[in-house]
Amino acid sequence: MTAPRHPGDKPPTNAAAKGVALIAVAVVVGAIFLGLGFSSDDGLFAGAASESTTTTTSAAKPDGDNGTDTDVQDQESTEPGDETGEPGDDTGTVARPNNEIHYVVLNGSGAGGRAGRVSSQLSALGFVPSDPTNVPGGQIDDSHIYYEEGWKLEAQAIAKALGVEDELLSPLPAPFNFEMGDAHIMVVLGKDGVIKA
């Protein structure tokens, strides 16, 4: 027998169960989108094409006292009219200093701890790290260094610091399905092992 209901009593609800179910659905949908976003067919890196670089990058060298970079070497550009570029301008010859270059490293190689080691290596040279993480959705074959518009020279400085060729550089594709936070450059470690820690 059920207890008599009083006026003003509300019928019991399953609000907590409904909330848990909604959160579970959101997590599953988010995981699916992230997985598709990092797939090699389409998604996060869809439309990303390596662009050939024709400008000479300024190389940054770490300061021997504290491991931070304060000096930038100026080199002449190979393209006419590039001499007047401003720091951070993709057409210029001067990159921002390392302590203004924010980056994130994603591990898609399948080897644990690589993103942390590569991030520490760049941090020791004065670049500013975001927390390293894994590529959502698993492993990827090829390593890449992606950069936001206006950050190509800085991406080249990171590539040089890692001892890799500019062929790994590409602008961030659009649409892009990863939250970059403060980072302007993303280093993605693939199974090819091109970027070494």
Q: What is the CATH number of the domain that holds 44?
A: 3.30.70.2390
177: domain range?
Answer: 17-64+88-197
In a domain, 188, yes or no: yes
Per-residue pLDDT in tens (0 to 9) along the chain, 197 residues: 555 555 555 555 666 666 666 676 566 555 454 554 544 444 454 434 333 333 333 333 333 334 433 333 333 333 333 333 444 455 667 999 999 999 999 999 999 999 999 999 999 999 999 999 999 888 999 999 999 999 999 999 999 999 999 999 999 988 778 888 999 999 999 999 999 87
User: Is residue 76 included in any domain, yes or no?
Assistant: no
pLDDT confidence of residue 79: 37
The answer as to whether 74 is a domain residue is: no
Encoded tokens for 161: 């610091």
What is the count of structural domains for the chain? 1
Residue-by-residue DSSP string for the chain:
-PPPPPTTPPPP--HHHHHHHHHHHHHHHHHHHHHHHT-SSSSTTTT-------SPPPPEE--TTTS---EE-----SSTTGGGPPTT-TTSS-PPPGGG-EEEEEE-SS-TTHHHHHHHHHHHTT-EEPPPEEPTTS--SS-EEEE-TT-HHHHHHHHHHHT--GGGEEEPPSS--S--TT-SEEEEE-TT--S--
Distance CA 177, CA 186 (A): 13
Asked if the structure places residue 139 within a domain, the reply is: yes
Phi/psi at 188 (5° precision): -110, 120
- Is 1 among the domain residues? no
Whole-number pLDDT of residue 156:
97
**Global confidence as pTM:** 0.57
CB 99, CB 130: distance < 8 Å: no
Q: Is residue 180 part of a domain?
A: yes
Residue 80, domain member (yes or no): no
Beta strands at 60-61 and 71-72: parallel, antiparallel or unpaired: antiparallel
Instruction: Look at strands 185-189 and 144-147 and give their pairing.
Output: antiparallel
User: Is the residue at 71 inside a domain?
Assistant: no
pLDDT at site 147:
96
Q: Cα dist. 187→4, 86, 102 in Å?
A: 65, 24, 11
Q: Taking a C-beta distance cutoff of 8 angstroms, is the pair 118, 145 a contact?
A: no
